[in-house]
Amino acid sequence: MEFKKRFNEIYVSLFHLPILMVLPIFWMVFMDEGSLITRFLFPLTLISLMLVLTKKIVQVLYSTKEEL
């Protein structure tokens, strides 16, 4: 059960990686239009996703380290 939970956490973390890679491309494409929404929304979304992903990976690594 514990392994399944850990696997799900890692899977969710890895699921965010493609989103993090695609978002800057969208940001660069829509940045040319220069509207206020795209200028502020995409960087905030990217930063928040990176923080969530980093937090999740650190939690998984820390819990794995504690068990060893």
Residuewise pLDDT in 10s, the chain (68 residues): 666 776 777 676 666 667 767 777 776 666 666 666 666 777 777 778 778 878 877 777 777 666 65
Cα–Cα distances in Å, from 17 out to 13, 47, 51?
7, 13, 12
pLDDT for the residue 49: 79
- For residue 14, what are its two tokens? 């890895």
Domain count of the fold of the chain:
1
Give which of 66, 61, 67 is closest to 10, Cα–Cα.
61
Which structure tokens are listed for 62? Answer: 């820390």
Query: Is 68 a member of any domain?
Result: no
In a domain, 67, yes or no: no
pLDDT at 67: 61
Tell me what pLDDT residue 66 has: 64
| pLDDT confidence of residue 48 | 81
User: Is there a domain that residue 50 lies in?
Assistant: yes
CA atoms within 13 A on the CB side of 3: 0
C-alpha span between 25 and 60 (Å, rounded): 28
Residue 37 belongs to what domain range?
2-62
